[in-house]
């Protein structure tokens, strides 16, 4: 629950828009294979692991690992947060950045966001409101090369 809680706290502290829904994956031949944002990324608090991959003409990100105790954290609709697509519709914009949407699974709200690789193995994610990146906050994620995720999306305890 900690991964979802910290991530949701970030989103709730910065943003407040209504839910727009997630997109279905499409063909992966629309984007080049050498996209630096593609791969496994550990959230800033090291409590969530995301897989960012092409989905049609965009990039999408799925929560594939998290830190929690007890039962698997659920989204606002009562479904497991494991495997939920939280990053959708990221398309290239200026300065090697991608813009799309990010879902807060605890509230069902979807916010605008940008992602970009600022240096090797460092991804920046900026969530914002009203189409204004100045009204937002940036997190720093790191590329994940750690051990496999455990059963039921549990991140290994020694992830740093």
DSSP per-residue letters across 74-130: B-TTS-BSTT-EEEEEEEEETTTEEEEEEEETTTTEEEEEEEEEEETTEEEEEEEET
Q: Residue 115 and residue 97: Cα distance in Å, rounded? A: 6
Q: Could you state, in order of their start, the residue ranges of all structural domains in the chain?
A: 2-153
Q: Give the pLDDT confidence score for residue 130 in this predicted structure.
A: 65
Q: What is the pLDDT along the chain (160 residues), one digit of tens a residue?
A: 444 443 433 333 333 333 333 333 344 445 667 789 999 999 999 999 999 999 998 999 999 999 999 999 999 999 999 999 999 999 999 778 999 999 999 899 889 999 999 999 999 999 887 666 777 889 999 999 999 898 789 998 876 5
Closest CA to 55 of 84, 91, 20: 91
Task: State both tokens at 84.
Answer: 């939920």
Q: Give the pLDDT confidence score for residue 125 in this predicted structure.
A: 95
H or E element in which residue 51 lies: strand 48-55
Pick the CATH number of 2-153 from 3.40.50.40, 2.40.128.520, 3.40.50.720, 3.30.230.10: 2.40.128.520
């Amino acid at each position: 629950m900690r991964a979802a809680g910290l991530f949701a706290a970030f989103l709730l502290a910065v943003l407040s828009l209504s839910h727009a829904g997630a997109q279905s994956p499409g063909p992966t031949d629309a984007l080049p294979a050498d996209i630096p944002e593609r791969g496994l990324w550990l959230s800033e608090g090291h409590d969530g692991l995301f897989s960012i991959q092409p989905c049609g003409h965009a990039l999408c990100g799925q929560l594939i690992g998290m830190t929690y105790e007890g039962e698997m954290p659920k989204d606002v609709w009562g479904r497991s947060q494991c495997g939920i697509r939280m990053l959708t519709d990221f398309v290239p914009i200026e300065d090697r950045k991608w813009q799309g949407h990010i879902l807060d699974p605890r509230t069902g709200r979807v916010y605008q966001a940008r992602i970009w690789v600022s240096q090797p193995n460092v991804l920046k994610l900026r969530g914002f409101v009203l189409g204004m990146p100045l009204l937002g906050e940036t997190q720093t994620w790191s590329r994940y090369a750690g051990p496999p995720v455990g059963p039921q999306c549990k991140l290994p305890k020694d992830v740093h």
